[in-house]
Structure 1
């Protein structure tokens, strides 16, 4: 009887997927992981596309500002979006995949205005932190914000945050290391690069995931299929091939 129930459940899932073969996903600009201007739309986009295909799904991307993409997932206007860190707030409206990528979140500051590193950064005072739209806050820094030691300021993009640090309008910004390295290489001059530094100790290593809208009835079935495809992609060695081809910057975390 148990085997019959399992078989019926598998059949039901297959039937459900047959009516939901295409995932409409909100994508965004976050090189080297994602961009409308990168080959295959960046490493994370390529991983999502191939993992979805291995799970019996196709994907269709639309590129949007991060704030809008998150709201589209919340409202169910799209099936989901990539790639995001998982938070309690996002858990309320989205389901999250296994990690697509992981990266070290570093603290960037002006080289001429050094900041204390861990554990002395617990004593920061008067630190103005740029927070790009779509980025998460971190427990350590939220506590310092509550103590009045840190003040967050929303900025449109990570590049804007870096330029505000260079101009002396912000003290620092946290950012995934590979994204920072990409910005340094493609958006900053040699002189500007020399004026920026990172603290030796990262805030933490962050997993970034595909999130699917809870407002879409097929989300759980699609997520299970995607996760199976992602596992196959890693086990086959294809994930490592894509990483080598599409992630040129040093400092990435597989």
Structure 2
């Protein structure tokens, strides 16, 4: 337990995304103090830049989905029809949220491990050789893509793990006596939502850059959007949860 006069925030590490390099609270985290040989890169500026246009990302997703004849609201309603955790025979592994986040995990992993990005970078090099683009312009684009990819990779497993934690906590009535701002499933939902929104922003960067891959990226964005809406339906009061340090 942290000393009452300590600069450390008690329990802050329980509700973070474990990405210390991008965190603004490392100086007040006991876990980070134990392993702090790290090179921070202005974390607040990074996340502010990434999250600035989340509303625009959602608008883009809904517009393109409509153009493809995909009803995002209906696909979520179909999933929500079977989200009860009250039946004894209802297992967490069978819950739509667990299935969708697992699908995102494996499809996202396959996408990242494919040759898509390598081929795109080769295309950029060819454009430089042909005098179609400047080296500085391409370098800026590649740097932006690399940062987006870093975000996607960091949260790829995290989203599924935290979503499953939400389902496990909801299936246990232990937290019912606690206020909303202290219920574990609200805290897990909150950090899962943050991870999903950051991932969607990162995929949007790749979507804008890689025109030939927009269909495959659109599918991943739809999976994330479904996950986001299912989480909100399961834990509608998640925003009330107070993460020590982050939300104070």
Structure 2 length-normalised TM:
0.22
Structure number having the greater strand percentage: 1
Structure with more contact order per residue of length (Cα contacts < 8 Å, sep ≥ 6): 1
| Higher normalized helix content (fraction of residues) | 2
TM-score, length of structure 1 as denominator length: 0.21
